[in-house]
Chains A and B, each alone.
Chain A
Amino acid sequence: MELFVQILLAGAIMLAIAVVFGVILVVCSHFLTQKKDERLEKIEGLLARSNCGGCGRAGCAQFAEALLKGEAKLSDCHVTTAANKEKIAEILGGGDVGEETVAVVHCNGGNACYNKYDYQGYGDCASCELLAGGIKACPVGCIGKKTCVGTCPFGALSVEDGGYAVVDKEKCTSCGACISECPKGIISRIPKNAKVFIACSNHGKGKDVMELCKRGCIGCGICAKNCPHGAIEMKDGLPQIDYSKCTGCLVCAEKCPRKCIKEH
């Protein structure tokens, strides 16, 4: 009987300690929690919630906070759909929505680009890049060892038979993870509704590029001369497409003698 009382007593005292802590916690949470801005929850709900980190914040929740404080721009996020962004802009009372974009790899060399040496080490492009600037003769040629494939949180990149990385337009959310990881820096964003893109990044002269790669841009300017809308301009040995003028007629892609303007 005495033992029983002792057990009960011990239980009661522990329970009392727990209740005291519980009460302290409840009281404190009542006094200490700040009222959360209800806009914050709405914005968080509208964001893509992929937590990709492409905006430079730790996650979508932090980005939403930064948006409310005015520290971040809505166009920093490339993953959220345009419709949702407009709703967020409404909540925030204005703000640059930005254009919907996708990433593209500005190279179609791959196996068509000559190798400087035979690489038999382990690892991806980043490790290959450490050895004399990568295996490819072209200094801005896709190495094709899948650094971007491993980085993409959405599985939108792949390296196929061509030996160079290709972005799947449907899966790409334009988060920008591959753009910062590619050791060659040849991935960038283009508008989502664009029809063509330049699949080469080499600014070199025609003869030099020909020695490096079978499909590199030789800077002949045929695309710029033939574009019926004047959307292409030659700049520093590479064509540049003004996507606001481009209608997607694909004349440039047909006329390019090196086939390095590609349909998107």
Chain B
Amino acid sequence: MTASLISVMFAAVISQNIVLSQYQGICPFLGVSKKMSSAAGMGFAVIFVLAISSVFCWLVYNYILLPLELDYLYTMAFILVIASLVQLLEMVLKRFSPTLYSALGVYLPLITTNCAILGTANSAVVYNSYNFLYTFGVSIATGVGFLLAICLLAGIRLKTDNASEIPKCFKGFPITLVTAAIMAMAFAGFSGILG
């Protein structure tokens, strides 16, 4: 069981990377990757929210929706859970841990409506019907995968944004998208490793 958990988590970080192979969370991936510091902030905020929200989604799905035979409403229920949970988290953090609150900063409310959060909850809780431990592990690993991808892209963008050889028509987002595509191909090369 431990071995299969590790392989599932490894897949969530590398070969099934949330951004580069499932194409979720593209907006922060492109929008917040101009600076390494903001990319890292966004990445950690995603890990934090993912870990907590998918756990709550699992509870709601398994103890409220399934017994009531309302599991077809999972998307709506998850949006509800995630949105109110992030609001609640923000309040709690502001009150009890101002340090963490200021570290996560604006990124915390920003990712309330992020598709990566909802997508992970959907795939882990509903499509794969993982148990509690698996859901928690996979959602943390997904967040780590996001952090890895956005930090790598931020590092590359630091170079491409200042490079002289790039034709004018490719400057800015076009070259960033090309970079992301090449990164996605590189990450796909890991598929098959560890299960």
Q: Is B100 an interface residue (CB 8 A)?
A: no
Partner of A29, one of B64, B68, B81, B91: B91
Partner of B92, one of A28, A34, A121: A28
A28 and B80 in contact (CB under 8 A), knowing A10-B73, A13-B68, A14-B73? no
Q: Which residues of B contact A28 (CB under 8 A)?
A: 88, 91-92
Q: Could you tell me the distance in whole angstroms from the C-beta of B134 to the nearest C-beta in chain A?
A: 24
> Count of A residues near B, CB < 8 Å?
19
Q: Is B129 an interface residue (CB 8 A)?
A: no
A34 and B95 in contact (CB under 8 A), knowing A10-B73, A21-B81, A24-B84? yes
B contact face: mostly helix, strand, loop, or mixed? helix
**Given the complex of chains A and B, what is the CA–CA distance between A33 and B92 in angstroms?**
9
Q: Which residues of A contact B105 (CB under 8 A)?
A: 58
Q: Which residues of A contact B126 (CB under 8 A)?
A: none
Task: Give 1 or 0 for each of A20-35: 1 = CB within 8 Å of chain B CB.
Answer: 0110110011001110
**Contact assessment for A33 and B91 in the assembled complex, using a CB-CB cutoff below 8 Å:** yes
Q: Which residues of B contact A4 (CB under 8 A)?
A: none
Partner of B88, one of A10, A25, A123: A25
**Contact assessment for A123 and B164 in the assembled complex, using a CB-CB cutoff below 8 Å:** yes
With CB as the reference atom, state the residue of chain B lying closest to A121. B164
Considering the complex, which residues of chain A in the window 89-132 have a beta carbon less than 8 Å from any beta carbon of chain B? 121-123, 127
**Given the complex of chains A and B, what is the CA–CA distance between A33 and B94 in angstroms?**
8
Q: Which residues of B contact A29 (CB under 8 A)?
A: 91
Leading 7 A-B pairs by shortest Cβ distance: A21-B84, A32-B95, A122-B164, A32-B91, A28-B91, A18-B80, A25-B84
Chain A interface residues toward B at CB < 8 A: 10, 13-14, 17-18, 21-22, 24-25, 28-29, 32-34, 58, 121-123, 127
